[in-house]
Amino acid sequence: MNLMGLFRSPQNELEKGGKEAEDAGIHSACPRCGVQLPLSDLQENMNVCTACGYHFRVGPRERIAYIADEGSFEELDGDLLSRDLLDFPGYDQKLRNAKLSSREKDAVVCGTATISGQPCALFVMDPNFMMGSMGTVVGEKITRLFEIATELGAPVVGFTVSGGARMQEGILSLMQMAKTSAAVRRHSAAGLFYLTVLTDPTLGGVTASFAMDGDIIMAEPGATIGFAGARVIEQTIRKKLPQGFQTAEFLLEHGFVDLIVPRAQQKEVITQLLRVHVPGSMIFDEAGGEML
Amino acid sequence: MSAYDKILSARSKGRPTGVSYIENIFEHFIELHGDRRFADDPAVVGGLAILENNPVTVIAIEKGTDTKERLRRNFGMPNPEGYRKALRLMKQAEKFHRPVVCFVDTSGAYCGLGAEERGQGQAIAENLMELSSLRTPVVAILIGEGGSGGALALALADQVWILENAVYSVISPEGCASILWKDAKRVKDAAECLRLTAQDMRELGVVEQVIAEEDFDQAYEDIKSRLADLLPQLSATPIDELLRARYQRFRKF
């Protein structure tokens, strides 16, 4: 479980997976409707509030379990580690804390997998690692994934969650936007399919690069998606922002995402989209209309 | 000069803005307007010009030089239409095989309500992807402030140059100080930590050339002669080779 920050005390026990949630009687309050949810119910419901449908943030391993066929995920570049390239004060400590709280080495997990039998390259960003911020390692892993997918002729499915570029790596973080965009373009030019799933939150340099480059852009209900953060916009325009500004629904209304899909239906929709994009594939069975 | 002094210099009102570079380096500039989708963004100026008898597409972010003009130019903070106009002109340059020269000077892409409604992030993302494979030479010159993605959207190029007192950064030092230390007063510390000066850019391999700016007339001449050398070389390079080099230029980071 990677629900750091949502609980007050027992999170370490949970992190270790030492005790069953129901045994400990642990509940988690839904940040939207406030209902106390037994953790076991929440987990069973893919970390979506059973009362109001709020989608909790989840870490990459849970995502992969929701989406990829069991045992099919093979991680790539899992041992790349960020370094404090610019001697930025406090960055080493931040990295250490992020590794502890996320149990990951950096803010994206990449690999290959099958989804309902369809092979693909998969990247999943991690809200628990410095809020998914993009430094050189994140940029490098995503770039390598697109390069490998281009070589393999495989589609890419990517789940984004990020506060933006990682300022502790200065201009080198900014360069990741250029690097990843160029890799996405090569993959695209090879006629290959790229699906992005924007989750809460997707902001800044990630929105302004590979998150918005998908052939099809899907979003999770209620996700905050934008370029500038809400606080910065309010300071700039000196006005309160309207309700629902920069939500997935707002982006759908303004034409910037293709579809909003609740977590429970994502595997099915992604499967269908992957199948449609297999060249020469038989999508429907002969009997009439059933998706194979 | 400290990093913070360089920021002050990059932002100073007396500093030449984008249009001055166009006027002083090129001849016969014809401004072209609009993104063909929604509006014409006055923060981005673009069009056709001649350099040493060769046509080029020039694009500049313009901050404006007096209060009225600054307001009209939105202080050089482009809306999505500015990036889309730039992209339209770049695609036009690609079609007619002329090189693109961009002058970049912005504190960042505009952080406004309408900018978000009309896809600021998407506009920048599209420029990055398109520039990475634009089949004509592109040179970008950072002349003042290089504010994050809003600057990069015009600076994914075969070569990137910077004026010696210009800066280039992933975030403003003010933003960095307030997020990291919850203290906007530590802006000088942030400026040092971010490594955002022209000299840092050279060291980190982000730019090929640093342009001296003791005298701006000299700087214009300098840029002009360097462009006159470089653009024919780039134009003579087989395009696939140029695109491979452009890819590797950013792949190394």
Q: Output the pLDDT for position A286.
A: 54
- Contact B250/A182, CB-based, under 8 Å? yes
Mean pLDDT of A67-80: 97
Yes or no: say if B89 and B82 are a contact pair by the CB < 8 Å rule: no
* DSSP state for residue A69 in the 8-state scheme: P
Of A184, A209, A256, the CB nearest to B119: A256
**pLDDT, tens digit (0-9, with 9 covering 90-100), for A210-257:** 999 999 999 999 999 999 999 889 988 899 999 999 999 999 999 999
Angle between helices A170-189 and B187-194 (to 10 degrees): 50
Of B132, B152, B200, the CB nearest to A174: B152
Alpha-carbon Rg of chain A, whole angstroms?
19
Yes or no: say if B209 and B226 are a contact pair by the CB < 8 Å rule: yes
Contacts 24+ apart (CB under 8 A), A274-280: A274/A115, A274/A116, A274/A118, A274/A120, A274/A155, A274/A157, A274/A193, A274/A195, A275/A118, A277/A155, A277/A193, A278/A118
Measure B145 CA to nearest chain A CA, in Å: 13
Helix (H, G, I), strand (E, B) or coil at A87: coil
Yes or no: say if A202 and A163 are a contact pair by the CB < 8 Å rule: no
Mean pLDDT of A42-59: 96
Q: Which residue of A has its CA nearest to B250?
A: A179
Yes or no: say if A187 and A144 are a contact pair by the CB < 8 Å rule: no
**pLDDT at A280 exceeding the cut of 90:** no
Of B109, B149, B253, the CB nearest to A172: B253
Q: Output the pLDDT for position A21.
A: 45
Q: Which chain B residues have a beta carbon less than 8 Å from that of A88?
A: 193
Contacts of A159 (CB under 8 A, 6+ apart): A60, A63, A67, A123, A124, A125, A196, A197, A199
Measure A238 CA to nearest chain B CA, in Å: 10
**pLDDT at A8 exceeding the cut of 60:** no
Mean pLDDT of A29-44: 94
Of A174, A189, A232, the CB nearest to B170: A174
Cα dihedral sign, A102-A105-A107-A112: negative
Of A170, A205, A210, the CB nearest to B196: A170
**pLDDT at A7 exceeding the cut of 60:** no
- Contact B125/A207, CB-based, under 8 Å? yes
Q: DSSP characters for chain B?
A: --HHHHHHHHH-TTS--HHHHHHHH-EEEEEE---SSS---TTEEEEEEEETTEEEEEEEE---SSHHHHHHTGGG---HHHHHHHHHHHHHHHHTT--EEEEEEES-S---HHHHHTTHHHHHHHHHHHHHT-SS-EEEEEEEEEEHHHHHTT--SSEEEEETT-EEESS-HHHHHHHHSS-GGGHHHHHHHHT-BHHHHHHTTS-SEEE--SSHHHHHHHHHHHHHHHHHHHHHS-HHHHHHHHHHHHHT-
Q: Output the pLDDT for position B179.
A: 86
- Mean pLDDT (chain A) is 91
Do the bridges between strand A118-125 and strand A108-115 make them parallel or antiparallel, or are there none, so unpaired? Answer: antiparallel
- pLDDT band of B183, cuts 50, 70, 90: confident
Q: Which residue of B has its CA nearest to A183?
A: B247
Of B109, B112, B133, the CB nearest to A189: B133
Of B110, B119, B169, the CB nearest to A170: B169
Q: Which chain B residues have a beta carbon less than 8 Å from that of A172?
A: 204, 253
* DSSP state for residue A206 in the 8-state scheme: H
Count residue pairs from A and B with Cβ separation < 8 A.
157
Q: Output the pLDDT for position A15.
A: 52
- Contact B149/A165, CB-based, under 8 Å? yes
Q: Output the pLDDT for position B180.
A: 84
Q: Which chain B residues have a beta carbon less than 8 Å from that of A181?
A: 125, 128-129, 132, 156
**pLDDT at A6 exceeding the cut of 60:** no
Mean pLDDT of A123-133: 98
Strand partners, B45: B60
Contacts of B102 (CB under 8 A, 6+ apart): B58, B59, B60, B86, B138, B139, B140, B141, B154, B155, B157
**pLDDT at A283 exceeding the cut of 70:** no
Q: Which chain B residues have a beta carbon less than 8 Å from that of A136?
A: 253
- Contact A204/B204, CB-based, under 8 Å? no
Q: Which chain A residues have a beta carbon less than 8 Å from that of B148?
A: 165, 174, 205
- Contact A204/B118, CB-based, under 8 Å? no
Of B111, B125, B180, the CB nearest to A209: B125
Helix (H) or strand (E) holding A243: none
- Contact A204/B149, CB-based, under 8 Å? yes
- Contact B129/A172, CB-based, under 8 Å? no
**pLDDT, tens digit (0-9, with 9 covering 90-100), for B68-104:** 999 999 999 999 999 999 999 999 999 999 999 999 9
Q: Output the pLDDT for position A161.
A: 98
**pLDDT, tens digit (0-9, with 9 covering 90-100), for B195-234:** 999 999 999 999 999 999 999 999 999 999 999 999 999 9
**pLDDT, tens digit (0-9, with 9 covering 90-100), for A161-212:** 999 999 999 999 999 999 999 999 999 999 999 999 999 999 999 999 999 9
**pLDDT at B49 exceeding the cut of 80:** yes
CA distances from A132 to A158, A166, B192 (A): 13, 9, 25
**pLDDT, tens digit (0-9, with 9 covering 90-100), for B101-159:** 999 999 999 999 999 999 999 999 999 999 999 999 999 999 999 999 999 999 999 99
Q: CA B59 to CA A228: how far, in whole Å? A: 24
Joined together, the tokens standing for residue A255 give 């034409």
Q: Which residue of A has its CA nearest to B169?
A: A171
Helix (H) or strand (E) holding A268: helix A263-276
- Contact B124/A209, CB-based, under 8 Å? yes
Q: Output the pLDDT for position A291.
A: 54
For chain B, what's the residue count? Answer: 253
- Contact A170/B129, CB-based, under 8 Å? no
Measure A96 CA to nearest chain B CA, in Å: 16
Q: Does the ipTM exceed 0.90?
A: yes
Q: Output the pLDDT for position A93.
A: 97
Domains, chain A, ordered by start: 18-56 (no CATH), 58-277 (3.90.226.10)
- pLDDT band of A279, cuts 50, 70, 90: confident
The C-alpha angle A127, A129, A132, rounded to 5 degrees, equals 50
**pLDDT at B54 exceeding the cut of 50:** yes
Helix (H, G, I), strand (E, B) or coil at A218: strand
Q: Which residue of B has its CA nearest to A135?
A: B253
- Contact B121/A208, CB-based, under 8 Å? yes
- Contact B204/A171, CB-based, under 8 Å? yes
Helix (H, G, I), strand (E, B) or coil at A103: coil
Q: Which of A156, A172, A175, A202 to mutate to test the interface with B (most CBs of B within 10 A)?
A: A175
**pLDDT at A38 exceeding the cut of 90:** yes
Q: Output the pLDDT for position A51.
A: 94
Joined together, the tokens standing for residue B10 give 């990059």
Q: Output the pLDDT for position A22.
A: 44
